Amino acid sequence: MINYSGILHSSMIVADTERSLGFYRDVLGMSVHVSRPDLDFPGAWLNVGGQQIHLLELDNPDPVVGRPAHGGRDRHVAIGVDNLVQLMEALEKAGVPYTASKSGRRALFCRDPDGNALEFIETT
């Protein structure tokens, strides 16, 4: 039997790394992981607790329009947060729309500048 130890990172395809950092770093408050190797394409690695989100500035094979308005009905990555209200305030200040989880959990969904869906679940 295979023994899994967890998900170490999730990758997001982005059109512009600096624009995406304006969202992930400046709005969401994620720090940039400085040990990203020198790859043959732009991008960034972001710390999310003990895991990472890898931003890959590559041609996107997926459509970015026509996606469901609610990110819970689309592929997404779920991230735990201590304080959902604090996150909501940061999103509202930046003008980033979000929707509440339809499950009744203390969670919300939003999209990054490239349409990638993110779920944030309050874990405390």
Q: At which residue do the structure tokens 């996150």 appear?
A: 87
Of the candidates 18, 57, 92, 119, the residue annotated as catalytic is 119
Q: For the chain, first and last CA: distance in Å?
A: 32
Examine the residue annotation and report whether 119 is marked as an active-site residue of this protein: yes
Collect all residues with Cβ–Cβ distance below 8 Å to 29 and sequence separation of at least 6: 90
Which residues are known catalytic residues? 119
